[in-house]
Structure formats: C-alpha cells, structure tokens
Amino acid sequence: MSVYTGNIVFGLVTFPLIAFAITLPYMVYQYRKFGSIPWLRTLVVYSFVFYMLVAYYMVILPLPENRSAVVPYAAHPQLVPFHFVQLIADSSTASLADPSTWPGLLRNPNVYEALFNVLLLVPLGMYLRYYFRRTWWQTLLIGFATTLFYETSQITGLWGLYVHPYRLFDVDDLMLNTLGAMVGFWAVGPAMRVLPDMRLVNMEAREEGLRASVTRRALSFLVDMLASQAAAGLFASVFRMLGAQAAVEAAGGSWDAAVWGIELASLAVLFAIVPALTRGQTLGQKLLKLRIVRPDASPARWYQPAARYGLLLLFAWVPFALLSGIVGLDTDRMGEMGALAAFTARHQAGIIWIWLAFMTAWAVSLGVRAVRAAALKRPFVMLNGVLSNTRVMTVAGVEIARERRAVMDVAEVAALERRIAEDGTPLATLMERAGSAVADEVRAWVPDPSPVVVLAGSGNNGGDGWVCARSLAEAGYPVTLVAPDLAERLHAEPARTTALAAFSDAAARDLPLSVLIAPDADVLADAVDRAEAVVDALLGTGFSGDEVREPYASWIRAANRRRFEGARGKGRGRHRKRTHERGEHERPRRSLPAKAKGAPFAVAVDVPSGLAAQTGTAARPTFAADLTVTMLAFKPGLVEPAAAPWTGAVKLAKLGTDVPALRDELRRRAAGDGAGADAGA
C-alpha cells in the first residue's frame, strides 16, 4: 500500500510541471475549436491527465536500481489465463461453501492485487463514456490497448531503457484491466443523468466564444510577443555570426543598442506590417481566430493596427521610462539641475511611492474593468483602442456583426425569395433547407433523442415546422407536431405540399412522429411538459399587431408557462394555469422572468411568434425563445434591443444561397426603378 501511496504523491509532485507544459497548447486548442474555455471541461481534462499520469506511475514504478538489473520473477511472461484464481485458491483457506471463511479473503494479497488491476482502469472507462462519448465496444478496445501498452512497457524494460524486464507481463492483468475499463463505463451511466452533458458544455462554449474575451486577447498578445522576441533573438544571433557585432563595435556603436533596434523592428513587423497584409490579424490573432476591426465591425484601415499597438507600446513605455529617469537622478549633483529635476531628486523616494501607487491603482482598475466587462458580456475596450478607433473581435463575431448590420426589410426578404426562385431554387427547396437548419440546431442543443414538440402554423412558417419535425423523427427523436388543421386542409403553398409529403413519408417509414390537431389545453400541456425542446413555427415574418389570435395564443402561453413556471406537478395543474393566466411574464418589463429548472430548449423559426419582424414590437403573448433561427437575412425587428429577451440568440441560416450578391442586385434594381420613376415625373 505504501508503494501505491508513494506513486500518488510522486504524481502530485510532477503533475504541476505537466500541467504547466500543456496549458498554452490546451488554451490555443480550446480557443480555436470552441472559442472559450469552460471551467468544467478544463477540470475534466486536467483531472484526466493527472489520472493517466498516476496510473502509468503505478505500472512502471518503482524503477530498478540500475539499467542492467535482473528481476528473476519478471524474466518470463505469465501467459496462463485466470492464473490469479489459482493463486487465490492456493493461498487461502476460504471455501465457497462456508460463508464464514469469506472474510479471510480480504486479507489475501492476491485478492488485493486482482482488485487493484480492476480498479486501475475504472476511471478510464468513466472518462471514455462521459467525456469522450465512446461506445462500449470502443471503450473495450481502448481499455485493452491501454493495458497492452502498460504490459508491453514492462516486458520491454520500459521500451529498452533497461536491459531486462523488471515487472511481470501477465495476461491476467490484460483481462482484469480491460474488465475495469468496462466496469467504469457501466458505472458512470446512471451518473450521466445528473452530470452536465459535455456536448452542451461545448455548445455553450461556442456561444460564449463569439465574444473576444480578455483572456483570449491577452493570450494572442502573449503569442505575438513570444514570436517577436524569438524572431529578434534569431536575427540577432545570425547577424552576430555574420560579424555584425564586431563591425558595430569597431564603428564605435553599441551592440546592445543594435539588438534593441532589431527588437523594435521585429515588433513593427508583427504588429504593423503583418496586420496590414492580413486584413487586420497578427500571427497570434490568426492562431486564435481574432481580428482587428473598426467599432462597427467594418475592416480596419491598413494603418489602424499600427496605431493601436504603437499607442499601447507608448502607454506601456512612458511610465517605466519616467521611473528609470527618476531612479537615475544623482542627488549629489542637484546644484547642476534645473528646478524640476532638483525637486524630483530631492523627493525621489516619495515620487517613486507615488508612481507605485498610481501604477497599482491603474492595474486594479484595469482588472476591475476586465471582470466587469466579462460579467456584463460587453467588450473590454482599452484607451489605445479608443484613440485608434479599433476593436479586437472574434472572426465569427465579426461575421455576425456584419450580418446584423445588413438587415433586410420583410418586403425585401419576400422579394429575395422570389429572386431565388427565378434562379431555379423553388420555395419548396428553401423550406426544406430551413426546416433542416432548425432541426440541426435542436439536435445540437438536445444531443440525445428526446421528446420534441413542434408548434406548426397554417402558413409557410408552419411548413418549415413540418420539415423540422420529419428531420428530427428521422434522427430518432419522438416528435409531437401540433397543428391547427390537417395537412391537406392547409392553403398556403408550398406549406401544404411540404406538410403532406412529410406526413406521408413519416407514416410510410413508421417514424416516431405524431400529429395533434387542435388539441385541448390539457393534452397540449402534457406534451409540452414531457418535451426537451419546443419549436415555434406558428407565425412568420408577416405577423404584426398587438394580440395573437387563437388557438396560437393558447399554444404560446402553454410553451411559455412551461418555460417560466416549470412542469405541472401532480394536483397543481389548476394553480399553475391560474398563475400563468395572470400573464406576469407578458407585462412590459426590461427582462423576462428566470427560466425554470428543467425547462425545454425553445427554438423559434425565423422570428418568435408574436414578435413583429419589421419593428421588434412584442404582442400578447409572444413566444420566448432560447434561440431564433432566422432565414436568409436579419430582419429589423430582430436587432432591436427590446426584442432580445424574446429572440434569445439569433442565428442566420443562408439556406445555401449567395444572399449578399442577390441583395445588392435587388437594391440596385430598386434604385434604378426609383431613378426612372423620378425622371419620368
């Protein structure tokens, strides 16, 4: 037991070194793949590294005294399966027929060894299932490969480091270690019901990663500074080898000053020339998917990155240059100084303390502003960014900001759809793509097949809902589609044709898709209570007004009730209904109530039902969404601040079309028609 404890202690001692070595690559990888670094994921990753480190120490330690040491018992591998059973039987007086002898097994070292071999890879099985999302057979293969690596390390004398094997290669270890991995795989299953789903953690990290965090920006700056210093050191070494140092010193110059000039030149290249050539990205920013832009996300001019980092260098250099000047004053020569210099020299110690207090206050204020910006999810803007009129944003954030600026009126979007149809892509195809895009988002946020309710209206927005329902059912999700009427009675096209095709396809293939036609309140509430996701495809961009008509109003209220008040408990249905009917979450307010625990993920198709796409005005009631998937272009109402509580995050689905080119064409055509009308008048 003391050997095992020693291995764990050695792991605790060496782990910080391993963690330090992998932190920078880990952060770069996380920022590139997910955009942010969630603490839970980081905790799991580092705990996994610590576990694998200690497990390997358990296998290879203690090491032999010298490289040529001979360990007799390890000279020949043990290749008899279940040999450990025979060892336990030979070394114990316990009898299966006599339960009173069983406690003696707990004192048998062979039992301890077998249990240890099982327990060694139990955590591996847990990590493989929970974090890496491996299947049982993948866990079986990985577990066997891991224990084979361990045993091979032993029989090869730590891969040739030692002349002879110093630990026994035992086929029983292969079996018991692999069994342990499978035990861990099965044991973590029930816990996964309450543990956070790592796939959702990754999705949330991607959403959070749209904003350029202070840590991400600081890391990119660190990478750039390391690259700059490495480049300057390399060039200085090359120049020295070529005799530059001797030439500089022969001319009466200072080699240190020359090296300082090389470092400044390296900084100028990395922070001014490179961003000018890469449209606003330093090497570190390119690595971490950041970009320097203007405050409205438009491309920065070629000189703005140079101004940004030149000002940063100036602000960082001036205080320390002043401090250096103050410290360098010679108090013995005050008579030769001017009045200001003499005063500074006389009060040198006090001025240094003032400088330290000022720099400390500045650093604290910088930290407070950074924390506050992170808490409020606002950009952290420094003075050099204000003066240079630049911001650092993520590449994905830049794209979204530009898309939000390129809003299209509802009428323009309708014209765009007609123009796309003229190009050979019918509206039915756009509807298929739109419904599939919404289904993809549901699958991303609800990774495992779970009940989904789709509220489908009688218009083309409802057609998107039918496609979404069929797509989810094809993926194994039990879907309940709620509609006001049968598919064949819909009037809007291509919604009617699409709904009929989706229903017929689901019936023919026996997909888990059920349809509720104008259900009563209790039936709808039961379906929503069971759901893990609710899709709103009731009203599209054509809605405007102060009140939503029935039955859509009742359906929206049922979805919102589930979101804000939770599922109806047994015997609480009427109370819940009365509370909900007071409509407290519908009253004008700066923010909506908190989302109830366990509330389903809510997705709106194109625009939340009840929200006017053109103005952003919310009717009574309005569907409250976690995510709105809007088609082709942002509508004016979706970018209004008052709409944010209803829309949640807004994602644009371009539906496989070149929207900017078609939008510009339509606007040029409209401008030409307007000019022609003015000329005719």
520 is in an annotated binding site: no
C-beta neighbour count of 451 within 10 angstroms: 19
User: How far is the C-alpha of 337 from the C-alpha of 333, rounded, in Å?
Assistant: 7
Q: Are strands 391-394 and 479-483 parallel, antiparallel or unpaired?
A: unpaired
606 is in an annotated binding site: yes
C-beta contacts of 143-148 below 8 A and 24+ residues apart: 143/177, 143/178, 143/180, 143/181, 143/182, 144/174, 144/178, 144/181, 146/121, 146/177, 146/181, 147/121, 147/173, 147/174, 147/177, 147/178, 147/181, 148/174
| Of 633, 591, 595, 586, the residue nearest 614 (C-alpha) | 633
609 is in an annotated binding site: yes
- Where b means 16+ CB within 10 Å and e means fewer, 170-206 reads bbbbbbbbbbbbbbbbeebeeeeeeeebbeebbbbbe
User: How far is the C-alpha of 52 from the C-alpha of 128, rounded, in Å?
Assistant: 12
User: How far is the C-alpha of 636 from the C-alpha of 404, rounded, in Å?
Assistant: 9
| Of 568, 622, 567, the residue nearest 592 (C-alpha) | 622
| Cβ proximity of 471 and 435 under 8 Å | yes
| Cβ proximity of 632 and 611 under 8 Å | no
Residue in this structure with the two tokens 């086929």, named with its chain if needed = 171
461 is in an annotated binding site: yes
583 is in an annotated binding site: no
552 is in an annotated binding site: yes
* DSSP 3-state of 392: strand
Running DSSP on this structure, what letter comes out for residue 617? -
- 496: CB partners within 8 A, 6+ apart: 463, 487, 488, 490
66 is in an annotated binding site: no
C-beta contacts of 96-100 below 8 A and 24+ residues apart: none
Residue in this structure with the two tokens 């020295």, named with its chain if needed = 240
162 is in an annotated binding site: no
* DSSP 3-state of 139: helix
Distances (CA, A) of 438 to 63, 433, 534, 535, 676: 58, 9, 11, 8, 41
Q: C-alpha angle 19/118/53, rounded to 5°?
A: 15
110 is in an annotated binding site: no
User: How far is the C-alpha of 591 from the C-alpha of 240, rounded, in Å?
Assistant: 65
Bind-site residues for (6S)-NADPHX:
460-464, 552, 606
Bind-site residues for K(+):
461, 536, 609
Bind-site residues:
460-464, 536, 552, 606, 609
